[in-house]
Amino acid sequence: MTDNEIKLIEERCNKATPGPWVSYIEGRDHESGCDFIMTSGEDIELTGATHDDQDFIAHARQDIPALINEIYILKSEICKLKK
């Protein structure tokens, strides 16, 4: 993955509503109402998504920044080893 590709992913992530995002599934996380993703802004209601899809989308808000940070750390370590 190129540095530019990583930067584009990071930019898209930074433009999204700040986290954390939390997936709420009726019957699992609350008793009545609809399935939704709670954000620091407007809640997100999805249609056509499975519960696993919804959990993935909600967790991506926290997971992607963590993965990008890990990529930067690993790239830095690789650069140190090459010197």
pLDDT of residue 49: 96
Report how many domains make up the chain: 1
What was the pLDDT predicted at 61? 98
Kindly report, residue by residue over 29-74, the tens digit of the pLDDT: 999 999 999 999 999 999 999 999 999 999 999 999 999 999 999 9
Angle at which helices 3-15 and 51-82 pack, to 10 degrees?
140
CB count, 10 Å around CB of 64? 17
Predicted TM-score of the model (pTM): 0.88
Question: CA torsion sign, 53 to 54 to 56 to 60?
Answer: positive
Asked whether residue 9 carries a pLDDT value surpassing 90, the answer given is: yes
CA angle at residue 37 from 29 to 8, to 5 degrees? 140
What's the pLDDT band for 83 if we cut at 50, 70, 90? confident
| Full residue range of the structural domain in which residue 53 is found | 3-82
With tokens 């080893």, the residue in question is 81
